[in-house]
Chains A and B, each alone.
Chain A
Amino acid sequence: MSKIQNFLKGIVKENPVLVLILGTCPTLAVSTNVLSALGMGAASTIVLLCSNIVISALRNVIPDKVRIPCYIVLIAGFVTMVQMLVKAFAPALDNALGIYLPLIVVNCIILGRAEMFANKNKVIDSAVDALGMGVGFTLALFLMATIREVFGNGTWLGIEIPVLIDNHISIMTMAPGGFLVFGILIAVVNKVLNNKNPKKEFGCEGCPSADICGKKTCGDKEAE
């Protein structure tokens, strides 16, 4: 796979949010306005890039058995750095993201890419993969935040939109609007990509914990 293909797959074919359905919590939570969505996207991309590069560079050093704790420590380290940078240079963004900034640690996209890609591939490829995934994540957040801010608040990046500003639908910026817009977006993506086999369930394939719990599908396992 060429580098360009590797980069592009994160944006459309394997978009982490809309196709792989990873990182749902930050997606729903920070997409109330465009600015914080972009901030969240940028912060996650930086963490993803750093962690993918380092994990890929250390892939022959880290023992297989303790790799998940190692990844978590590395990721938490990078998140702490980003947290400090944001606090120092963009305090407004720090306020807007609040608890979701430290919670990048448990964002499935980052641990998922470490587990699925970085620990098997070379440093450059991992960096390209991280950039693609990061841009895909940011774009998906941007798209959702645009819909929610334009309809829910009547503004876009703070710019007032003539008719909508007087007729905004406040529910869109609240919790139910997040679920609704996300559901409809995934349905649209299913339709557009003409997925012959649309994701039937919220699967475990992408979940980084899948490997720890050793089951391929959440839920169904213990019933039997």
Chain B
Amino acid sequence: MKIDGVPIDLLTKNMLLATGNVLQIFFLTILFSIPLGFIVALARGSRFKIISVPTRIYQLIFRGTPLMLQLFFFMYGPYYLFDIGFGRFNACIIAFVVNYAAYFGEIFRGGIASIPKGQYEAAKVLGYSKFQTFMRIILPQVVKHVMPATGNEFMTLVKDTSLAQVISVGEIYNVATNASSRYFSTVPLIVAGLFYFIMNTVVELSFKVIEKKLDYYRT
């Protein structure tokens, strides 16, 4: 089947293959940037300036510059500086993780700050250790609190994977632009848009389910 001279079945097949890459970027970024984001949030709230200030500067840099430039930086920077490289895909993952951890750090910091002081005090008087207090009392409430903002980030991440093409990591947008120029048609771009839209619909529905599951209590 062809639309506007574009063989749709072939295009869809190529895009589905590229989707594998997109999902890899997506899940690897989530896997590493969320724990790292928590560390960033805790470091940011540290009493020690030697920890909190550098963390803040890191967040400022990675939230304050385009992800596209960060991709270039991790792709080519190591070659110029140390004459070694991470490889295309690894550089891509590192850039995404470092970038998203900066944002997650901010979201989690807000979540941790939103827990009333009384929760810490009650836990302390009951004899919970600091670690128990954080893991058992604070963290579960933080998770519920940051869910909407985290869902936002997940959706942005799906779309941001299209930036990986600047360092030639094959993904949907890459396939779309190639097909678009080969067939002189905007149809591949529209199809690409549909792919992102479908993935994000899944993300949105998943978060609805999770938020509903966490709805058994109110703070």
A associates with B: no
Partner-B contacts on A (CB < 8 A)? none
